[in-house]
Structure 1
Amino acid sequence: MASGLLKLATLGGVAASGGGIVAGASMMSGSKQEASAIQKTSASVEEKESLDQSDDSPSLEPKAPVCIIYKADIPVPKTGTSREFKKLLERFENKDGFFSKLQGVENETQIKKDVKEACSGSNGKKNKDGNVYVWQEGNKWIYSTPMNEKDWVKETTVAQEFTSRK
């Protein structure tokens, strides 16, 4: 009977330790499943660093700055020597669209030069947040640096009577 009891105790111990191993393995595999689920739904640190670096890297082709040309009505005197626009008549999405309208004007070469320089902010010519304001008097187009120091399209006192053109 003692040997039967010894066999039963040994068998019980083996069964208990086997059950413990199985239970432990089950817990470990459950943890791995949770961890893998997290990894699948979020980017790893390496991936985030890779994305951050690609955002900061310069592109191969530099983008040309946006330059919108507004044809304004002839400016009116304000106070002293200052003038202001009361109406914006046309909007050109880029300088090429504006240049296509200049066929046959007296100062075509000069106004193209002025607008190109204003768009790039070179030779003392200015634009305001990429906007360039010009007007027409007879068969001549006028660009004036002082009239491009204010962003007229944002002024509530300036009527916007234009349709956009490319």
Structure 2
Amino acid sequence: MIVQGLRVTSRHFFRNLRGFVTGRNRTDFVVQYPEERVDYPDAFRGMPVLVQLDNGEPKCVACGLCEFACPTDCVSIVPGELEGSRIERYPEAFDIDLSRCMFCGLCEEACPEEAIVMSREVELATYDRPSLNFEKEQLLVPENLLKRRLDFLRGEYDREHERPERKE
């Protein structure tokens, strides 16, 4: 058992040593961050944001499902009533405390309107905690900028809910 482990370790060691000396098969593992950016996969979950419609209003109907689904209670919604509109409710206030958010994506899954999605925003570092409280106006992102994520979510939904074909 020990001999087998030593054999595997030494094989990797000498293969890497040979590649290091000859310079073959070397790839960079380090990305020079501010100058180079990594393209995140479609399933990447960054900062949660609200989808903004073309008329400037949020897509959210203030149902409260994202608030209920959040395990850390970082989402807070104050619903307002609309008279004579297609939707009955809208969010008067929609706050997310990113100091508590764990970027799990449960709010995104719970939303029936695809109004809250996880963006690709990762640069959230700050020295003061109150600056991590985002209000509705700060969270609004136009729908066309979130197209890639929305297409991914729709594809995931279709894969989860496709019916298996019957065998006759």
TM-score band by shorter chain is under 0.3
TM-score, scaled to structure 2: 0.23
Higher relative contact order (CA 8 A, sep 6+): 2
TM-score, scaled to structure 1: 0.24
| Rg larger in structure | 1
Q: Which has the higher helix share?
A: 1
